[in-house]
Amino acid sequence: MQTVVLAAGEGTRMRPLTAAQPKPMLPVAGKPLLEHTLDRAVEAGANRLIVVVGYESDRVRDHFGSQHGGVDLEYAVQEQQRGTADAVNAAAELLTNDPFVVLNGDALYDQASLNTLYSNGPAVGSYRVDNPSAYGVLQLAEGDDSRVTGVVEKPANPESNLINTGAYVFPADAEELLSVETSERGELELTDVLEAVCNRESVTAVPFDRWLDVGRPWELLAANEWLLESLSTRLDGEIHENADLNGPVVVEEGATIRSGVSIDGPVYVDSGATVGPNAYIRGSTYLAPDSKVGHSVEVKNSILMAGATVGHLSYVGDSVLGQRVNFGAGTKVANLRHDGQPVKLTVKGDRVSTGRRKLGVIVGDDAKTGINTSLNAGVVLGAGMTTEPGEVLDRDRWEDFKS
């Protein structure tokens, strides 16, 4: 089935990690988020892929080219990010007169449920959450909890906790319904198209066993944790005989594990990455290409993006380090509040709870710390930011923060 995958947005809630790359291209478990979504779409039955691009679109095109998983891949451009209906409308001229699937390129869907979605239609993916007011809540037909009659966006008093996952199967003529009016949020919403389809035919609610909307930095860690659960050991790189590897660990060809290194999986070490000597890596960690973990460094449950370096005698826990970040020797990251409350993080100017008891720091591309820097839990360093030697930082530092 032809499939439209939305990947045009910058992802402002993911700043500063999206300062130079679109959110769907942020890496987890060895691949960009978008690639994991495309993989699952192909597995579910996509026979044609249309990716809607916009912000930093060349990064998407250069990475994927014109095919993925043996399936032809085309691109549609959303010139201005005016909403999800506008994004699908950008792809309308590429659609054939057949039913089509729409997926979000920055969301994760469990494979079995996605397979079920592809075999139904019209349909929308559904999922039960603890905080439905933050999502679009699906309305169901009375006496039939499998038929959707509408959706209410972010209701103050939701009727249920069943929400829209942003995964749809639309009928062939749904593209005629894409010219919707601007919503109260100032966007052209795909949920209005869903409403129009619901008004004229039966739409199935397909329950997802597992789903994750990756919209904020700590959800990148959650995505990495999920995807590394199924990791199988593969050791193709150079591994010193005195290294100790336990649990599921991938060491790609071109990666180097030096003497005295201890790794407790699930851990993914990508090509060109180096670890050690005498370093300790544990807990759902991804080391991207050309990243470096130095002498006597411990990294726990973190993502180090391409070219990121953590100097010797440092600790990094539950953190995301952007491209080419450089932590000076002795940099320490705190990842736990002493009062036991969830760590808070700044998102679009507001300090919000992450719901995570343990969370370290979020660091934008090219940021650097001086030696013996201490970073408190929930600190955000903007792209290109620096710290002084010995500095203790418990507040965010942005170059040019805009909400």
Active-site amino acid positions: 312
Phi, psi of 40 (to 5 degrees): -75, -30
**What is the CB neighbour count within 10 angstroms for residue 399?**
13
Phi, psi of 78 (to 5 degrees): -95, 105
**What is the CB neighbour count within 10 angstroms for residue 119?**
13
Tracing tokens 């965010």 back to the chain, one arrives at: 396
3-state secondary structure the chain: CEEEEEECCCCHHHCCCCCCCCHHHCEECCEEHHHHHHHHHHHHCCCEEEEEECCCHHHHHHHHCCEECCEEEEEEECCCCCCHHHHHHHCHHHCCCCCEEEEECCEEECHHHHHHHHCCCCEEEEEECCCHHHCEEEEEECCEEEEEEEEEECCCCCCCCEEEEEEEEECHHHHHHCCCCCCCCCCCCHHHHHHHHHCCCCEEEEECCCEEECCCHHHHHHHHHHHHCCCCCEECCEECCCCEEECCEEECCCCEECCCCEEECCEEECCCCEECCCCEEECCEEECCCCEECCCCEEECCEECCCCEECCCCEEECCEECCCCEECCCCEECCECCCCCCCEEEECCEEEECCCCECCCEECCCCEECCCCEECCCCEECCCCECCCCCEECCCECCCCCC
Asked if 332 and 310 count as a contact pair (C-beta separation under 8 A), the reply is no
